[in-house]
Amino acid sequence: MEQQLLIYLFVGATFALYIGIAIWSRAGTTGEYYVASKGVNPIANGMATAADWMSAASFISMAGLIAFLGYDGSVYLMGWTGGYVLLAMLLAPYLRKFGRFTVPDFIGDRYYSQLARTVAVICALFISFTYVAGQMRGVGIVFSRYLEVPINVGVIIGMGIVFFYAVLGGMKGITYTQVAQYVVMIFAYLVPAIFISLLVTGWAIPQIGFGATVVGTDTSVLGRLDGVLTDLGFDQYTSGQKPTIDVFFITFALMVGTAGLPHVIIRFFTVPRVRDARISAGWALIFISLLYTTAPAVGAFARANLIDTVSNAEYTELPQWFHNWETAGLIAWMDKDESGVIRYGPGAPFEGRPQFTGEVGEYGQPLLRNTPTDHANELYVDRDILVLANPEIAQLPNWVIALMAAGGLAAALSTAAGLLLVISTAISHDLLKSQLMPHISEKGELLAARLAAAVAVVLAGLIGIYPPAFVAQVVAFAFGLAAATFFPAIIMGIFYKRMNKEGAVAGMLVGLVFTFGYILLYKFINPALDHPDHHLFGISPEGIGTLGMILNFITAFAVSRFTPPPPDHIQHLVEDIRVPRGAGAAQDH
């Protein structure tokens, strides 16, 4: 069966499944909409959490970043994986024992302050909108290639799909949809990796193939890749170029950012008991590790296959996959030396993203209106496509390519839905119900949540159409914001009885303003400064959340020492949260 028809069948079947689940599990109460009535099985919740977690950044972009950054890309792998261990051990069971719907709910009650709740809502909105921008960008990339529509149209289609099942089903619908999406995406990720590992190394397990020798040679996969890259003028794949302090700060920001992400934390409010929160976190880590331990192999295989296919190849003899992605605007070639041969090397080939004129050149290549740079490199490859294009580059069967299309969409849509739920819940429950309209009916609150989700879908789509960076980088900013705002407030709220509302509010505001201001300066106001020589202490915008977190801790602690302690009932509440009764039923306070 031809490739495009298979893609339509696979994508159409999975969409029908997601929408069918949403209709079957439609939320009728706020309890079902916010936390699925706290009745989700721990294994199902672990799978749904993994799907929520394995976003477009993990599925589409992470291996692409590793492929282009080599050793430096490992910060994403270490940070995101380590963060889940931190979340499972330090936060998940205690937050479930507290028995609330949302992170702002916890902060508002723990710090006995509506102001603290409002600041937490603002932080949640900043984090979620930043994160969801990366997901909508991922949706657009997948649609643009596989459904042969422009990226912007792909984002709009994705908005419609997410709106339908997130707004209709709420957390109940999203949970069971994400279980299905996890199954789709993990098969889509592992099947091509197994195929390619077998072809390149003879090993069916990609994790082993990554360290094995290439079939018919005595050279390891990484050794061969190091040699090819240095021949082309790149740094060795296994060498790192980032300053050590930046590697540490990015890794730590991703770790503690994981433990502060509201759309991940809310998943642990959906299980019946405190013990189940820890169990579901353990299952989530197992499910996540299947993808994360495979990503380095996928990145290495994809980069090697890309170079073998296009470097020093004549444009007229390139395989069809290159032209497919070229049509989507995600690969571009500028024939600087007028040789008809693709010269691939370090440096950007031209200024900015590709801007096509609509005309074709001597060899049939789409002509660009971009200004060429002085780098010898002639090839532009969007990092976010490498995983998606990998099966095509390796010439795998058409059904594998169709499976990859369905998996890429599942990854982006699953996390987008969870983020939209956080946004709608922050507005309907934490602002309207808890503060502005305390007497609103349950029906009115549910309607407000759905309207808020609808508005959020539109705003997220607009950000996805005009993204500030690659998917994984956009998501890294969200983790930095979570690290600098929520993590200190939550961790001190659980383990430090003396922390009061003044300290928590001051810390969150300092962390938010500093981190967001730094990202804004280096990524939007003056991107020319985004170089290690100009960074504060050598820390990039992706890692600045760690410094924001430190400032949050210092500010919160200092302010709390010079202001009155929390009331006695709050201090008793903190003690009660920490009592190790993991096997008992959760108590609502």
Bridge-based pairing state of the strands 331-333 and 379-381: antiparallel
Q: How many CB atoms lie within 10 A of CB 290?
A: 15
Taking Cα atoms as reference points, which of 226, 233, 247 lies closest to residue 74?
247
Residue 364: exposure state from Cβ atoms within 10 A (0-12, 13-18, ≥19) = exposed
Bridge-based pairing state of the strands 379-381 and 366-368: unpaired
Cα distance between residue 312 and residue 232, in whole Å: 10
What burial letters (b/e) apply to 493-522, b meaning 16+ CB within 10 Å?
A: bbeebebbbbbbbbbbbbbbebbbebbebb
| Distance from the first to the final alpha carbon of the chain | 58
Per-residue HEC secondary structure of 181-210 comes to HHHHHHHHHHHHHHHHHHHHHCCCCHHHHC
Q: Which DSSP category does 394 fall into?
A: T
pLDDT at position 488 is 92
pLDDT at position 582 is 45
Cβ atoms 67, 300 nearer than 8 A: yes
**For the CA atoms of 187, 188, 191, 195, what is the dihedral angle to 10 degrees?**
180
Residue 523 C-alpha from the chain's centroid: 18
Instruction: Tell me where in the chain the CATH 1.20.1730.10 domain(s) lie.
Output: 3-223+243-295+399-482
Q: How many CB atoms lie within 10 A of CB 525?
A: 10
pLDDT at position 583 is 40
pLDDT at position 550 is 95
Bridge-based pairing state of the strands 331-333 and 356-360: unpaired
Fold of 3-223+243-295+399-482: Sodium/glucose cotransporter (1.20.1730)
pTM: 0.77
Q: Looking at this protein, which amino acid is placed at residue 505?
A: V
Task: List beta partners, residue 379.
Answer: 333
Cβ atoms 420, 453 nearer than 8 A: yes
Taking Cα atoms as reference points, which of 497, 510, 473, 472 lies closest to residue 578?
497
Cβ atoms 299, 64 nearer than 8 A: yes
* Six token digits for residue 588: 């609502």
Cα distance between residue 409 and residue 136, in whole Å: 10
Taking Cα atoms as reference points, which of 37, 59, 62, 63 lies closest to residue 50?
59
Q: Looking at this protein, which amino acid is placed at residue 177?
A: T
Cβ atoms 147, 408 nearer than 8 A: no
Cα distance between residue 105 and residue 120, in whole Å: 9
Bridge-based pairing state of the strands 366-368 and 356-360: antiparallel
Q: Which helix (H) or strand (E) holds 276?
A: helix 274-292
How many alpha carbons fall within 13 Å on the CB side of residue 388? 35
Cα distance between residue 506 and residue 553, in whole Å: 10
pLDDT at position 588 is 43
* Six token digits for residue 579: 């009592």
pLDDT tens across the length of the chain (589 residues) = 677 888 888 888 888 887 787 777 665 555 555 555 566 778 888 888 887 777 666 777 777 778 777 777 778 777 777 777 777 777 777 777 776 667 788 888 889 888 888 888 888 887 777 777 667 777 777 777 777 777 778 788 877 777 776 666 566 667 777 888 888 889 888 999 998 899 888 888 898 888 888 888 888 888 888 888 888 777 777 776 777 888 889 888 888 887 777 777 777 777 777 777 778 878 888 888 888 888 888 888 888 888 888 888 999 889 888 988 888 778 999 998 888 999 988 888 988 888 888 888 888 889 988 899 988 899 998 877 788 888 888 888 888 888 888 888 777 677 777 777 777 777 777 777 777 777 777 778 778 877 887 787 787 777 777 665 544 456 667 778 888 988 899 899 888 889 999 999 999 999 989 998 988 888 777 777 777 777 888 888 888 999 999 999 999 999 999 999 999 888 888 887 776 444 444 444 4
* CA-based R_g, the chain, Å: 24
Outline where DSSP puts E strands in 265-348: 331-333
